[in-house]
Chains A and B, each alone.
Chain A
Amino acid sequence: MFDLDRWREIFQAISNNKLRTILTGFTIAFAILLFTLLFGIGNGLKNTFKESFAGDAENAIYIKRGKTSKAYKGLQIGRRIQFRNDDYSYMIDEFGENIQYITAMYSKFLKIIYKDENSMNQVRGTHSDIQFLEEIEVDEGRFLSQFDIKRRAKVVVIGRLVEKDLFGRRSALNKYISIDGFNYKVIGVFSDPGGDNDERYLYAPISTIQSIYGNTDYINSIRLTFIPTLSNSQAIAFGKKIGQKLKVKHNIAPRDQSAILIQNMAEASKGVGVVMWGLNIGIFIIGFGTLIAGIIGISNIMVFVVKERTKELGVRKALGATPKSIVGMIIQETILITTIAGYSGLVVGVSLLKYLKPTLEKYFLKNPSVDIGLLIGATITLILAGLIAGYLPAKRAALIKPIEALNAA
């Protein structure tokens, strides 16, 4: 129902009673602004925490070898465990249904030469799944394929910084580089958000590296991710199971803790989950508290506003205003002010967060932002609160005898 005359009355009332309008608007705008900032900072804290402790591959399991700490089945203490290719295939055979990605790794620190440039880098012999286990983004060319591994191809995928060191600004793609005297074709260049170190690796087929350096089937470690559908406790049990099976396979005492080292991210994220839960509760309390403060503020102001207008309302009633038109006028006015103010608070809050983002990130608040749906919900809550808080006194003012309203101070 659009009533131009009604809106004219309201605009006049608003613009001629600036203090009242500002007071009402400020309460709402300030509450929303605070809500946005506090929530944003809370979310920033949460994001930082999530990133530093949870990492990206929350479902990763690293399997590394060590030395036995117990004598077992006639084998002596201090024996060094060696993984071989059959451990890799054993993992797939035994645990295949729970594995998302898996790779074995056999790394060497080697001299890399291209024309006059040379450097020492870690060359990682892996399976092709490593692409998904590390955060590898292929910028040019392609990554290792299963076919490369099968035919022991002398191909290599190099890090962005390796390309920069050896090739300067030119592209390394399809060029041949010498690794410890053998020529490899560069089939791809990758970047890795993990940092500079990760961009100085070279990835080659594990089969190639094994055959060139010692013609062995040795592997240093195995990395895998379990399927994401496993619950945290299932994932922890899965990690333990791997340890048990490998100990049996390698004749290690069941209680030997140092022969096979299993690093299961599920165990880390168990603690992270508790802290995250705590953070979420904290953020919720902050947001809820701000909202309650806003609701109380707007309610007080509405009571004051109606009280201040009692005499005017009495005059209007004497001139023929019905209670309905009185209540309608106040409600409409309240909606208008609170909506505009709420929206302004929201815009200012979000802009301020954006503006402060670089500063906040210096203080370990990663990506401090608030879900816009949540903000709109908070704004609507405050508008409704203002409405209810305005409705009750307006209704009372509309129903008292005009003479009482006129006699009000």
Chain B
Amino acid sequence: MGKSSLHVLKGLDLEIKEGEFISIMGASGSGKSTLLNILGLLDTHDAGTYHLNDQIIENLNEKKAAILRNKFLGFIFQSFNLITYKNALENVALPLYYQGMKRSERNKKAMQYLDNVGLKDWAHHLPNELSGGQKQRVAVARALVGNPKVILADEPTGALDSETSAGVMKLLRQINDEGMTLIVITHEEDIAEMSDRIIRLKDGVIVSDQKVKKVKVKS
């Protein structure tokens, strides 16, 4: 493993407030995934400062990072990253296991979140028995179950068809409406349009930062 470093992000100044729904856009190689990984404490930045929940993030070791991730962050991945040998309920309950919650309690809570994403009846199915959209909804439930401050989604609809994508985005919208901060990475314009604010990256710098005009259709 060579340790050659590559400057991906070159001077970013970005503030994300609580309750915002942001999408980060850019071509591949623009640095959007790197930004998300740094925000999610999955990767480390080597220059500059990062404040998460008014707390400066520096010199984190893996243990501290793990605790912060568990407490403040929820992840949604393009490839879902469900544990294949655990059923939907157990996957959702896993963050609670690492919070040290009791088994009966965490199963109850996980079931409640599965119900919220409409998958109560699928609780005891393994990931390979679920459709792509269902898997991503399990992942959403898993990201939410630990009551994080921020949900980070890396191309959450990248592996889904457009109809399913719309369903997942609707679910994310709903979560944001309930007050959750959401950061979504995407390269699809129509997905980004569903958020409140779009940040466009190119070669590691922000090229635009604009609010989305609300054309909310109340149902």
Interface residues of A (CB under 8 A from B): 4-5, 8-9, 12-13, 16-17, 311-312, 314-325, 398-399, 401-403, 406
A402–B73 Cα distance when bound, in Å, is 14
Q: Is the CB of A312 within 8 A of B83?
A: yes
Kindly state the separation between the CA atoms of A133 and B40 in the bound complex, as whole angstroms. 86
Interface string of B24-42 (1 = CB under 8 A from A): 0000000000000100101
Which residue of A has the minimal Cβ distance to B44? A401
Interface residues, chain B, with chain A CB atoms under 8 Å away: 37, 40, 42-44, 62-63, 66-67, 69-71, 75, 77, 81-86, 90, 94-95, 97-99, 103, 142, 146
Which of A9, A311, A322, A403 is B66 in contact with, Cβ under 8 Å?
A322
Is the pair A315, B81 in contact by a Cβ cutoff of 8 Å? yes
Which residues does chain A contribute within 8 Å of B86, judged by CB atoms? 12, 16
Tell me whether B43 and A8 are in contact (CB under 8 A). no
Chain A residues near B83: list those with CB within 8 A: 312, 315-316
B151 CB → nearest A CB, Å: 12
Q: Known interface pairs A315-B81, A401-B43, A406-B77. Does A322 touch B62 (Cβ–Cβ under 8 Å)? A: yes
Residues of A within 8 A of B71 (CB): 320
Name the A residues within 8 Å of B103 (CB-CB). 4-5, 8
CB-defined contacts of B82 to chain A, threshold 8 Å: 315
Q: Is there an interface contact between B42 and A406, defined as CB atoms closer than 8 Å?
A: yes
- Nearest CB of chain B from residue A162's CB, rounded to whole Å: 75
For the complex of A and B, list the 3 residue pairs with the smallest distance between their C-beta atoms, beginning with the closest.
Answer: A320-B70, A16-B85, A320-B98
Which chain B residue lies CB-closest to A398? B62
**What distance in Å separates the Cβ of B177 from its nearest Cβ neighbour in chain A?**
25
* CA gap between A9 and B94 in the complex, in Å: 10
Complex Cα spacing A317 to B98, Å: 9
- Report how far A264 CA is from B170 CA in the complex, Å: 100
Chain A residues in 8 Å Cβ range of B62: 317, 322-323, 398-399
B85 touches A12 (CB 8 A): yes
Q: Are A17 and B85 in contact (CB under 8 A)?
A: yes
CB pair A319 B63 closer than 8 Å: no
> Using Cβ atoms and an 8 Å threshold, which residues of chain A touch B95?
319-320
Q: Which residues of B contact A17 (CB under 8 A)?
A: 85
**Complex interface: chain B residues within 8 A of A317 (CB):** 62, 66, 69
**Min CB–CB distance A94 → chain B (angstroms):** 83
29 contacts between A and B (CB under 8 A): A4-B103, A5-B97, A8-B103, A12-B85, A12-B90, A13-B85, A312-B83, A314-B81, A315-B82, A316-B94, A317-B62, A317-B69, A318-B40, A319-B70, A319-B146, A320-B69, A320-B95, A320-B99, A320-B146, A322-B66, A322-B67, A322-B98, A323-B62, A323-B63, A323-B66, A325-B98, A401-B44, A406-B42, A406-B77
Counted as pairs of residues, one from A and one from B, with CB atoms less than 8 Å apart, the total is: 71
Main SS class of interface, A: helix
In the complex where A16-B85, A312-B83 touch, is A321 in contact with B42 (Cβ < 8 A)?
A: no
CB-CB under 8 A from A318, the residues of chain B are 40, 42, 69, 75, 81
- A319 partner residues in chain B, CB cutoff 8 A: 69-70, 75, 94-95, 98, 142, 146
Residue in chain B with minimal CB distance to A6: B97
Given contacts A318-B75, A323-B62, contact A403 B42 (CB under 8 A): yes
* Distance A13 CA – B90 CA, assembled complex (angstroms): 12
Q: In the bound complex, what is the Cα–Cα distance between A318 and B62 (angstroms)?
A: 11
Across the interface, do A320 and B67 meet the contact criterion of CB distance under 8 Å?
Answer: yes
Smallest CB gap from B148: residue in A: A320
Residue of B nearest to A403 (CB): B42
- Given contacts A318-B75, A319-B98, A324-B63, list 18 more A-B pairs with CB under 8 A: A5-B97, A9-B97, A12-B85, A16-B85, A311-B81, A312-B84, A315-B81, A315-B82, A316-B94, A317-B62, A318-B40, A318-B69, A319-B142, A320-B66, A320-B71, A321-B98, A322-B67, A323-B62
Question: B85: nearest residue on chain A (CB-CB)?
Answer: A16
In the complex, which residues of chain A have a beta carbon less than 8 angstroms from the beta carbon of B98? 316, 319-322, 325
- A322 x B81 contact (CB < 8 A): no
Chain B residues within 8 Å of A13, by CB: 85
**Nearest residue, chain B, Cβ from A400:** B62
Give A90 Cβ to nearest chain B Cβ, in Å. 87
Chain B, Cβ-Cβ closest to A405: B42
Q: Which residues of A contact B70 (CB under 8 A)?
A: 319-320
Complex Cα distance A322/B99, Å? 11
Which chain A residues border B90 with CB–CB below 8 Å? 12
Closest to A315 in B: B81
Closest chain B CB from A333 CB (angstroms): 13
Closest beta carbon of chain A to B29's beta carbon, Å? 15
Nearest B residue to A318, CB-CB: B75
Q: Which of B66, B81, B83 has the most CB of A within 10 A?
A: B66
Residues of B with C-beta under 8 A to A315: 81-83
CB distance from B46 to the nearest CB of A (A): 13
- B63 contacts A322, CB within 8 Å? yes
* Chain A residue, CB-CB nearest to B145: A319
Report A-chain residues with C-beta under 8 Å of the C-beta of B42.
Answer: 318, 401-403, 406
- A309 to nearest B CB, angstroms? 10
B85 to chain A, nearest CB (A): 3
Q: Whole-angstrom distance between the alpha carbons of A316 and B93 in the complex?
A: 12
The minimal Cβ–Cβ distance linking B71 to chain A, given in whole angstroms, is: 8
Whole-angstrom distance between the Cβ of B61 and the nearest chain A Cβ: 8
A317 CB to nearest chain B CB (Å): 6
**A12: chain B residues within 8 A (beta carbon):** 85-86, 90
Per the bound structure, the CA–CA distance linking A322 and B97 in Å amounts to 12
A398 to B43, CA, bound (A): 14
Q: Which residue of B lies closest to A5 (CB)?
A: B103
Give the distance to chain A from B129, nearest Cβ to Cβ, in Å.
14
